[in-house]
Amino acid sequence: MAKAKSPPALPRKTASQRARAARLLAALKSRYPDAHCELDWTKPHELLIATILSAQCTDASVNRATPALFRAFPTPADYARSTPEAIEPLIRSIGLFRSKAKAIHATCNLLVERFGGEVPRTMEELLLLRGVARKTANVVLGNCFGINAGVVVDTHVDRLSHRMGLSRASTPAAIERDLMALFPQDDWCLLSHLLIFHGRRCCKARGGGCASDPICREFCSAAANAPKPRRKVAKKRGTSR
């Protein structure tokens, strides 16, 4: 993937911290060789819109709504010519659909008026769009254009960053900078996919498989506190006298 300049003055990390991060990255790459963005899209503006819709919402629910939405509005210009009220019925199944419809309409208006209907390729320009913060911008830059400007920090990445000793920070921005300091820039986009895959499939907020998972046993603090699986003890057959 292409590189973008890192922000200055990232937190300092020791050689042992970076070595541990490298072991974790290798383990996750081996476990999830097909890790990818789980939002469905074919064009950059579709991923931008899907990511806006995914705020406080699951990717699965977004993917159920977007096929009809993308058919009704094939281009940013189609959204811009429409109204938020016309967008709302197509995303009514998604939380906060009214505010998200307004954000999508305003964003596509700006795409048309300022960027010729194209999704911009810089963090600074993407942050001008309504409903777009660093997380959304990182999703678009990394997955659409191969630009590693930062690391996506969603709820899974937040949780695993703390459990796996990657960050003690309390805000997504600070967690992101810890991750950027620990991992090679070429892997920033993939790193978020790997952590999200592991968070959804194993190291869950509740009822995860941390106690029995090799990656969690080495890296995750939740593994030490998770209830150990009970072993089945075979009943001894009574001896007849």
| 95/114 Cα distance (integer angstroms) | 29
Name the catalytic one among 135, 178, 187, 213. 135
CA dihedral defined by 173, 177, 182, 183, rounded to 10 degrees?
80
* 13 assigned to active site: no
Q: Which two tokens stand for residue 185?
A: 């820039």
The C-alpha angle with vertex 89 and arms to 91 and 53, in degrees rounded to 5, equals 15
Pair 63, 37: CB distance under 8 Å: no
| 150/135 Cα distance (integer angstroms) | 9
CA distances from 126 to 45, 122, 136, 149, 167 (A): 11, 6, 9, 12, 26
Name the catalytic one among 13, 40, 102, 154. 154
* 135 assigned to active site: yes
- Which residues are known catalytic residues? 135, 154
